[in-house]
Amino acid sequence: MKALIVDDEKEICLLLSYQLEKLGIRSFKAHSLYEGLNMFNPDEHNIVFLDINLPDGNGLEIIPTLKAKNEHVKIVVISAYDTKSEHKKAFELGVFQFLGKPFSKKMIKEIIDSMDTDI
The rounded distance, in Å, linking the Cα atoms of 32 and 83 is 21
The answer to whether residue 119 sits within a structural domain is no
The answer to whether residue 31 sits within a structural domain is yes
For residue 87, what pLDDT is reported?
A: 87
Phi, then psi, of 80 in degrees rounded to 5 = -80, -20
* Mean pLDDT, each 10-residue run in order, the chain (119 residues): 96 96 97 97 97 95 96 95 85 94 93 76
The answer to whether residue 20 sits within a structural domain is yes
For residue 118, what pLDDT is reported?
A: 53
CATH number of the CATH domain containing 46: 3.40.50.2300
The rounded distance, in Å, linking the Cα atoms of 42 and 71 is 9
Give the residue ranges of DSSP H helices in 1-119: 10-22, 33-39, 63-69, 84-92, 105-116
